[in-house]
């Protein structure tokens, strides 16, 4: 696809869609506060998002990564059926999981949030079920190499969340009205995806394809589950240690945000590179090294600049009530370093999924141990540092294993000179921002 003099590849369109999703999430965080949503309601919304991530992120991520790695190896006549089976499993399996959580919520909520009830939970779970299609939609368009629809359709569908949530809040319908708006957007995505799958004649149930996909996915689901628990553990620890304090939970959640541009571009780039590395290892590694360096030049300087100026723009962007979130934000920005090391991408492409899981389990154990150890003496900032250290160890171990097991040194998929230069730059910016 060309826009003027520029050629847009499917991988770049996929990154643009991911960036739109992250950008909309940040804008909503800003504009919901500006629209007058109380800090308590913001805290409730963040608790709902936390539960949604905990319930769906791990299996969605694992299944989609296995699909991306396996799809290029399928026969042409199997590919449409593969995607149709994926949609059916997401719809039925995801709905069953969310329904089971709703029926057993009185047992789970006190353990996860320290509270027996959470307002609007049923409405949010219905939206979470419909929203599963948005994860499938972008990935399917990437595999179909439908660049134009992926670029424009994905960005517009994500952007539709802004008026869907903000207009009800501005007109006084509060968080309930905002969630009803999200339901409408989720229903629209669901209909769009069904129409696309029907056009590709994808609705052909094949138990052997489904079984093979699930078996391939299990180590990646386990890995993603550990990663989700590791991320969600921070929010759980805040809820447990500061039980019933929604405002403190909101302060933590607003600070515990990675640089959205880095998170979106790195995650989308990693997913898009899996089928390339799986199909052509040597060429894929070369592309991974070249394209990741471009991300270095973009994301590291921006991260350092945001870190150095956060005391000025953060309370201005949100409100002075969220000034205590600034040190948390600066600390979480250090995760950018580990995000831009793509050793896990190569291991997934090589189907070394079991090793990826074992190292992620070690990361979780370290995060939990450090979180409990640091929250008492250091409070919220101690939880943030526990996460940064655990993430860093995980990427170091993955890079070590990739070299020991497959002989692939880090210099083959990243530029070491620029990487260490930017690590020093970001660390220096953090030291100055403290």
Q: Are 103 and 158 in contact (CB under 8 A)?
A: no
Q: Are 427 and 433 in contact (CB under 8 A)?
A: no
Residue 369: band (very low, low, confident or very high) from pLDDT cuts 50, 70, 90:
very high
Residue 6: band (very low, low, confident or very high) from pLDDT cuts 50, 70, 90:
very low
CA distance 64 to 67: 5
- Better pLDDT: 426 or 321: 426
Which of 62-71, 156-165, 301-310, 354-363 is predicted least confidently? 62-71
What is the percent of the chain where pLDDT is above 90?
Answer: 25
CA distance 218 to 62: 7
- Better pLDDT: 138 or 340: 340
Q: List CB contacts of 141: < 8 A, sequence separation 6 or more.
A: 10, 13, 14, 149, 150, 153, 154, 196
pLDDT value, residue 4: 45
Q: Minimal CA–CA distance to 156: which of 134, 180, 125?
A: 134
Q: List CB contacts of 79: < 8 A, sequence separation 6 or more.
A: 71, 143
**CA-to-CA dists, residue 390 to 236, 356, 363, 374, angstroms:** 17, 14, 5, 13
Which of 136-145, 327-336, 342-351, 382-391 is predicted least confidently? 136-145
DSSP 8-state secondary structure symbol assigned to residue 156: H
pLDDT surpassing 50 at residue 197: yes
What is the percent of the chain where pLDDT is above 70?
Answer: 94
pLDDT value, residue 403: 94
Q: Minimal CA–CA distance to 357: which of 369, 366, 344, 370?
A: 344
Q: What is the mean pLDDT of residues 225-245?
A: 76
Q: Which residues pair with 3 in a beta bridge?
A: 6
pLDDT value, residue 244: 65
pLDDT value, residue 229: 76
Average pLDDT, the chain: 83
Q: What is the mean pLDDT of residues 294-304?
A: 94
Q: Helices (H) and strands (E) in the chain — how many of each?
A: 19, 2
Q: What is the mean pLDDT of residues 61-90?
A: 78
- CB-count burial class (<10 Å; 0-12, 13-18, 19+) for 162: middle
pLDDT surpassing 90 at residue 215: no
Per the listing, tokens 């990154």 go with 15
CA distance 94 to 399: 33
Per the listing, tokens 């595999």 go with 143
Q: What is the pLDDT of residues 242-263, one digit of tens each?
A: 876 667 777 887 787 777 778 7
Q: What is the pLDDT of residues 137-187, one digit of tens each?
A: 887 887 777 777 777 777 788 888 889 988 888 888 888 888 999 899 888
The gap from C-alpha 161 to its chain's centroid, in whole angstroms, comes to 17
- Better pLDDT: 236 or 430: 430
Measured from the Cβ of residue 366, the count of other Cβ atoms closer than 10 Å reads: 19
CA distance 274 to 51: 28
Phi, psi (rounded to 5 degrees) for 135: -65, -45
pLDDT value, residue 131: 82
Q: What is the mean pLDDT of residues 73-78?
A: 73
pLDDT value, residue 429: 95
pLDDT value, residue 419: 95
CA distance 411 to 289: 8
pLDDT surpassing 70 at residue 65: yes
* Helix 207-241 × helix 353-378 angle, to 10°: 10
Q: List CB contacts of 197: < 8 A, sequence separation 6 or more.
A: 83, 84, 87, 140, 203
Residue 395: band (very low, low, confident or very high) from pLDDT cuts 50, 70, 90:
very high
- Is this model's pTM higher than 0.75 or not? no
Q: Is 62 left (phi over 0), alpha (psi -120 to 50) or beta?
A: alpha
Q: Are 9 and 150 in contact (CB under 8 A)?
A: no
Per the listing, tokens 């056009």 go with 199
* Token pair in block for residue 11: 């991988």
Which of 121-130, 200-209, 215-224, 380-389 is predicted least confidently? 200-209
* Token pair in block for residue 115: 């509270």
């Amino acid at each position: 696809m060309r826009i003027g003099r520029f050629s847009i590849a499917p991988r770049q369109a996929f990154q643009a869609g991911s960036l739109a999703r992250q950008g909309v999430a940040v804008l909503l965080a800003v504009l919901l506060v500006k629209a007058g949503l109380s800090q308590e309601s913001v805290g409730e919304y963040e608790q709902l998002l936390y539960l949604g991530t905990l319930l769906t992120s791990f299996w969605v991520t694992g299944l989609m990564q296995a699909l991306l790695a396996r799809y290029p190896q399928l026969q042409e006549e199997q590919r449409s059926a593969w995607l149709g089976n994926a949609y059916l499993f997401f719809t039925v399996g995801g709905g069953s999981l969310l329904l089971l959580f709703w029926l057993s919520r009185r047992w789970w909520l006190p353990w996860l949030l320290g509270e027996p009830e959470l307002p609007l939970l049923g409405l949010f779970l219905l939206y979470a079920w419909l929203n599963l299609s948005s994860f499938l939609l972008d990935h399917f368009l990437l595999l179909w190499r439908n660049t134009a629809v992926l670029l424009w359709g994905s960005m517009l569908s994500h952007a539709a969340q802004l008026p869907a949530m903000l207009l009800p809040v501005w007109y006084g319908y509060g968080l309930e009205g905002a969630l009803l708006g999200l339901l409408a957007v989720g229903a629209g995505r669901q209909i769009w995806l069904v129409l696309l799958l029907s056009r590709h004649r994808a609705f052909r149930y094949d138990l052997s394809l489904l079984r093979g996909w699930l078996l391939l996915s299990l180590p990646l689901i386990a890995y993603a589950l550990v990663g989700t628990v590791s991320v969600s553990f921070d929010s759980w620890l805040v809820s447990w240690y500061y039980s019933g304090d929604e405002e403190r939970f909101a302060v933590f959640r607003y600070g515990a945000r990675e640089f959205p541009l880095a998170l979106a571009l790195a995650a989308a780039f990693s997913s898009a590179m899996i089928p390339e590395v799986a199909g052509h290892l040597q060429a894929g590694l070369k592309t991974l090294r070249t394209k990741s360096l471009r991300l270095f030049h973009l994301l590291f300087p921006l991260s350092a600049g945001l870190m150095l100026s956060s005391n000025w723009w953060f309370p201005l962007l949100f409100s002075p009530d969220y000034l205590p979130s600034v040190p948390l934000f600066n600390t979480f920005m250090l995760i950018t370093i580990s995000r831009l090391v793509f050793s896990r991408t190569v291991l997934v492409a090589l189907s070394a999924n079991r090793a990826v899981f074992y190292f992620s389990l070690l990361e979780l154990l370290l995060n939990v141990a450090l979180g409990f150890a640091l929250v008492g003496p250091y409070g919220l900032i101690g939880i943030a540092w526990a996460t940064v250290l655990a993430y860093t160890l995980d990427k170091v171990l993955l890079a070590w294993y990739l070299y020991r097991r497959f002989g692939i040194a880090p210099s083959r998929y990243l530029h070491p000179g620029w990487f260490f230069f930017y690590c020093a730059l970001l660390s220096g910016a953090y030291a100055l921002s403290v």
